[in-house]
Amino acid sequence: MADTVREIERKYEADDGRGPAHLPDLSGAAPVAAVDDRGTAELDAVYYDTADRRLAAAGITLRRRTGGADAGWHLKLPVAPGVRDEIRAPLAPTVPRPLSALVRSRTRDVPLGPLVRIVSRRHVQHLLDAGGTVLAEASTDTVTATALTDGGATATWTEVEIELARGGDADLFDALEPHLRTAHLRPAKAPSKLARALAETGIAPLSPPPAPALPPKATAGDHVLAFLREQAEAVATLDPGARLGTEDAVHQMRVATRRLRSAFRSYAGVLDRRVTDPLAEELKWLAAELGVDRDREVITERLHENLADLPRTLVRGPVRARLRIWSHRNRVESRKRLTAVLDGKRYLALLDGLDALLADPPLRTAAAKPPAVALAKAVLRDYGRLAARVEHALATAAPGPERDTALHDARKAAKRTRYAAELATPGLGKPAKRFAKQMKTVQSLLGDHQDSIMVRDALRTIAAQADGAGESAFTFGLLYGREERRAERAERELPEVWAAVSDRRWREGLEP
C-alpha cells in the first residue's frame, strides 16, 4: 500500500446550452492571488467493478490509470459529499491484493473486471495565495468515456474540477462559487466521472439501489428493517477503515455489530428468532474479534491520560517506553488477527447472511402493528430486564468478582435498552429519544467501571514485564490504585444515577 490521500473536491459543468465547461480566470478571486499554469496531460484510466456493479452502487471507484504524476491503481472510498479517501498502489497488470481486500465487504468472492475506460485531456492550474502557497488545483477536463461492456457505447463531455491542496480550507469553494457562476458553471449533477460515464454510456447499475425512506404509515417491521439496513451498511462501509487502522473505525464497526445483535433480541416479536439467532451468534463472534483491537485502544488511551495526570516525581523509570512497547506489541498481534478475520470465509458468510435476511425478512405478526404498540413494548421489556439487573448489582454488597460481573451484566442490559430505544425513535419520537439518552447515562457509568477492570488487568501484565526487565513498577502500582478508586466512585454513584434515570417520567409516552 503506497499512500492514502484525503481528496476534497468539487466538480462543475456548464449550464444547459452553454457549450463546453470553461474555467474562468480566478486570479482575482480572494484569497487567490495568482494562477500558475501547469500545462496539459492525458490521463487514461480503466475502472474496475463486479459484473453487477457493486462498487458503483456503494459510491466506490477502483481504477488503473496511466499518465500524470500519480499513475497507478487508485481506490476511492466515499467519506462525505465531495470528500473521498484515495488509496494508491503502484501500477500492476491486475488489481493489487491490498486494494481488492479493501473492497471485499462489497465484492465478497465475486471477481473484479474492467467496466469502463475514461480518457481525460486535463489542463491544470494551481491557485496560489499571496505567499505562493498552493491553495487548490483547478483543472478543465475534456473527457471521453467508453463502455467496456454492453456494446462499447461512448460519451464525451467537459467538466471543471477544483481540488483542495492537502490541509486546504474548504471555505475556498464558497469564495470561488460566484466567479464560477458568472462563467456559467454549476455544480455537476454526477458525483464522479465514473457515475457520469455509467449514465451516459447506458451502463445501468445492477446492484439494488439504497432502500427508500420510511413510508408515511410505517409499521413496526418497517422501522426494524430500516435500522437493520443502516447497521449492516455501516459494517460494510467501515470494513476498509478497520483494515487500514483508521481512527475509530474498529469501534464503530463493533458498535454496528452489537446494534444488529441487540435488535434481533429486542425485537424478537417482529423477526423470527429461528432465523435471527444463528446470525446473532455470528455477530457476537465478530464483535468479540473486533473487541481485541478496540480494547487495546481504550486501555492505551486511558493509561496515557492517567500518566499525564501524575506529577513527574511519581513517574519512576521508563514508564512511557514500557507502555509503548506493550501497546505496539498488542497492536501488531491484534491487527494481524483482525485482518485474518476480515479475510476469512466466516465473516463473508455473515455478510451474506445479513443480505439474505434483509432481502427476505422473516417477519412475524407484530411486524404489521403500528410502532406505538410493538416498538414501545419491546423497549419497555428491555427496560424491565435492565431494572432487574441493576437491582441485583446494587444488592450485591461485597466488592469483588461477583459484583463486577453483576455490574457488567447491567451495563450490557443498559446498552441493549438504549439501542432498542434508538431504533424506536423514528417511530415514537421524543419520548424514545429522551429515554435513550437516560439509558446512555447508565451505560456510560457502568462502561467506565468495566474499562477500569480491563485497565487494571493490563497494568498487572505491564508491571510484571517492567519488573522482569529490572525496571521500577512503582508508577504502575500508583496507576492501578487510581483505577481502583475510579471503579469505586462509579459504584458509589450508581444508586443516585439509577434513581434519576429510572424515574417514571422518562417512560412517559412509552407506557400505555
- Report domain extents, the chain: 3-200, 220-507
Contact 366, 374 (CB under 8 A): yes
Q: Is the pLDDT of residue 63 over 90?
A: yes
Grid coordinates 486501555 are at which residue? 299
Q: Average pLDDT of 259-274? A: 97
* Of residues 358, 312, 298, the one with CA closest to residue 475: 312
pLDDT beyond 70 at 1: no
Q: What is the pLDDT of residue 196?
A: 92
The per-residue pLDDT for 512 is: 66
Residue 211 pLDDT: 67
Q: List the Cα angle 399/400/404 in 5-degree steps.
A: 95
Domain covering 3-200 assigned CATH 2.40.320.10 in the classification: yes
Task: With H, G, I as helix, E, B as strand and everything else as coil, classify residue 416.
Answer: helix
What is the average per-residue pLDDT within 343-369?
96
Tell the residue number behind the cell numbers 471503579, with chain if given: 487
Reported confidence tier of residue 37, pLDDT bands at 50, 70, 90 = very high
Q: What is the pLDDT of residue 209?
A: 63
Q: What is the pLDDT of residue 20?
A: 83
Q: Residue 407: its pLDDT value, please? A: 96
- Determine the Cα–Cα distance for residues 263 and 54; give it in Å rounded to an integer: 26
Q: What is residue 207's predicted lDDT score, i.e. its pLDDT? A: 66
pLDDT at residue 4, as a whole number:
86
CA atoms within 13 A on the CB side of 503: 9
pLDDT tens, 172-206?
Answer: 999 999 999 999 999 999 989 999 999 999 887 67
For the record, the C-alpha cell of 300 comes out as 492505551
pLDDT band (50, 70, 90) for residue 71: very high
CATH number of 220-507: 1.40.20.10
> Given a cut of 60, is residue 46 above it in pLDDT?
yes
- Specify the range with the lowest mean pLDDT, choosing from 10-14, 99-103, 121-125, 206-210: 206-210
**Section 309-324 average pLDDT:** 93
What span, in angstroms and rounded, lies between the C-alpha atoms of 479 and 307? 7
The residue among 217, 127, 132, 209 whose CA lies nearest residue 176 is 127
Nearest to 120 by CA among 43, 228, 54, 176: 43
Q: Give pLDDT, residue 29.
A: 87
User: pLDDT at position 17, please?
Assistant: 62
pLDDT exceeding 90 applies to what percent of the chain?
A: 84
* 101/18: higher pLDDT: 101
The pLDDT confidence band at residue 109, using thresholds 50, 70 and 90, is: confident
Check residue 425 and give its pLDDT: 96
pLDDT of residue 216: 83
Q: Work out the pLDDT band at 30, boundaries 50, 70, 90.
A: confident
Residue whose C-alpha cell is 483547478: 138
Q: What is the mean pLDDT of the chain?
A: 93
Distance from C-alpha of 6 to C-alpha of 102, rounded to nearest angstrom: 16
For the chain, helix (H) and strand (E) counts, in that order, are 14, 9
3-state secondary structure of 274: helix
pLDDT grade for 100, boundaries at 50, 70 and 90: very high
| Backbone angle region of 362, left / alpha / beta, with phi > 0 → left and psi within -120 to 50 → alpha | beta
Least confident of 208-212, 412-416, 429-433: 208-212
List pLDDT tens digits, range 404-428: 999 999 999 999 999 999 999 999 9
Distance CA 228, CA 195 (A): 27
Average pLDDT, integer, range 366-370: 94
- Over residues 16-20, mean pLDDT: 72
User: What is the percent of the chain with per-residue pLDDT over 70, rounded to a whole number?
Assistant: 97
| pLDDT, tens digit (0-9, with 9 covering 90-100), for 111-149 | 999 999 999 999 999 999 999 999 999 999 999 999 998
pLDDT of 408: 96
Q: What's the pLDDT score for residue 443? A: 97
